[in-house]
Amino acid sequence: MTHATSAARWLMRRALFAVLVVAGVTTLTFVLIHLAPGDPIYLLAGDGGNASYYDSMRAKYGLDRTIAEQFVRYVRAVLSGDFGYSFMYQQPVIGVVLEHLPATMLLGGTSLLFSVILGFGAAVLCAIWRSRWLDAAVRGVSSVAYSAPVYWTGQVFILIAAVKLGVLPSGGMSTARESLEGIAYVVDLLWHVLLPAFTLSLPLAAVIVRVSRASMMETLGEPHVRAAVARGLGRSRLILRHVAWNASIPVVALVGQHAGQLLAGAALTEALFGWPGVGHLVLHAGAHRDYPLVTAAFIFISASVVFFNVVTDAATSWLDPRIRLT
């Protein structure tokens, strides 16, 4: 069997699996959100109405039908490409979700970049310097960074950087004082992404530093590296050329797994910083019991997790030929 056909088969199998996962998540989300206590009608329409009013509103939104009936209608609509109409935004769900993707991707991408720079950079420094103090410091900081909830670290960073020092904005994606365009807008955007991206990057950076440091240490003990040392190769060059490359494989796998989860996992950070991403949107939609929006968002999130997993597997296999796509 040629390599190409085996890769195609692998892709087919993964695609089928992906469809099953997304279908499962859709069903589960639909059932869970409909069973969750709290009636969207009261949140949509407000309080102080009488029974006939609430009944008429329920009928208007199709919420007077049984869950099974609503589910069948929903699945039919989704299969024909209609993800429904958002209760709270009063527009097609798909547009609302897509509108928030760029913000999430910017925050997620920047934070992944920070994770890799911080985590891998620290691991390389540890390997080069081999200082016990540096090692201990990196280990200590990474433990805190990994275990502290972003909700808490983010607030601390806001208090320090925005309130006390006043050097970074406290939140949002752009300044609310004026409408900027062109270069000024881009600069303002980067300025606003720094703090939330840094906050969001810490847990993954902590994992990366642990994993890559361990694999670098392991590689340093291997015969080809010892041979290189014996040939008189300088330590920094050695690490960057021979050791770091090998250590990057598990990092790619980690980053890939995380990339998929960022769509949903950034919700708390987005809410904390008022960042207009998909997670923040889902938070409001959930609070308003906007069933169509929440369900559609979860379909997107699960699809992106599956997608990034496939991409990750393909990428690690390309980096390390020993890993086969089966």
Partner 1 sequence: MTLPGGRVAWVVLLAAVGGAACARKPAAPSATTLVVAVGSDPGALNPAVTTSGSTHPITDQIFNGLVGLDEQLQPIPELAERWTVEDGGRAYRFALRPGVTWHDGVPFTSADVKFTFEQALLKYHSRTRAALEGLLDTVETPDDLTAVFRLKRPYGPLLQRLDVVEASIIPKHQYEGHDLLHGEPARKPVGTGPFRFVSYATADRIVLERNPTYFRQGLPGIDRLVFRILPNAASAVAALESGDVDYTVSVPGPDIPRLQRTPGIAVVKSAGGSGGSACQDVLIPNLTRRPFSDLRVRRAIAHAIDRDFIVERVYFGQGQPATGPISRLIPWAYTPDVRQYPHDPAQARKLLDEAGLKPDATGQRVAITFTHGANQQRLGQALREQLKAVGITLNLEMLDFNAAVERVFVKKTFDLGLASFCNGADPEIGVRRVYVSSNIGPYPFSNGASYRNATIDALFDAAAARVEKDQRRETYVEIQRILAEEVPYFWLIDSETLRAHRQTFTGFRLWTGAFAETVRPVSASTPSKQ
Please report, as residue ranges, which positions from 188 to 207 form the binding site for partner 1 (by CB under 8 A). 188, 190-191, 194
Nearer to partner 1, 1 or 51 (CB): 51
User: Would you count residue 271 as binding partner 1 (CB under 8 A)?
Assistant: yes
Shortest Å, Cβ 22 to partner 1: 24
Shortest Å, Cβ 140 to partner 1: 19
| Closest to 213 (Cα-Cα) out of 250, 256, 257 | 250
Tokens of 248: 């990057």
Query: DSSP code of 142?
Result: H
Nearer to partner 1, 8 or 160 (CB): 160
User: Would you count residue 326 as binding partner 1 (CB under 8 A)?
Assistant: no
User: Would you count residue 64 as binding partner 1 (CB under 8 A)?
Assistant: no
CA distance 222 to 71: 58
User: Would you count residue 322 as binding partner 1 (CB under 8 A)?
Assistant: no
CA distance 300 to 101: 10
Q: What residues between 201 and 240 interact with partner 1 by CB under 8 A?
A: 236, 240
Classified as helix, coil or strand, 85 is: strand
Residues 325/6, Cβ–Cβ less than 8 Å: yes
Residues 212/142, Cβ–Cβ less than 8 Å: no
Nearer to partner 1, 39 or 218 (CB): 39
Tokens of 163: 């309130």
Shortest Å, Cβ 313 to partner 1: 27
- Per-residue x/- track, 75-94, partner 1 (CB under 8 A): ----------xxxxxxx---
- Main-chain phi, psi angles of 176, to 5 degrees: -95, -10
User: Would you count residue 131 as binding partner 1 (CB under 8 A)?
Assistant: no
Shortest Å, Cβ 317 to partner 1: 25
CA distance 60 to 54: 10
Q: Which of 21, 44, 319, 323 binds partner 1 (CB under 8 A)?
A: 44
Residues 210/251, Cβ–Cβ less than 8 Å: no
- Per-residue x/- track, 91-120, partner 1 (CB under 8 A): x----x--xx--x-------------x---
Nearer to partner 1, 277 or 306 (CB): 277
Q: What residues between 151 and 180 interact with partner 1 by CB under 8 A?
A: 155, 158-159, 162-163, 166-167, 169-173, 175-179
CA distance 26 to 34: 12
Q: Which of 38, 102, 140, 149 binds partner 1 (CB under 8 A)?
A: 38
Q: Where are the alpha helices (DSSP H) in the chain?
A: 3-35, 40-45, 51-60, 67-79, 93-129, 132-147, 150-157, 182-220, 223-230, 235-238, 244-265, 267-273, 278-287, 291-319
# residues near partner 1 by CB under 8 A: 74
Shortest Å, Cβ 194 to partner 1: 7
Q: Which of 124, 251, 255, 306 binds partner 1 (CB under 8 A)?
A: 124
User: Would you count residue 58 as binding partner 1 (CB under 8 A)?
Assistant: no
| Closest to 268 (Cα-Cα) out of 281, 258, 282, 280 | 280
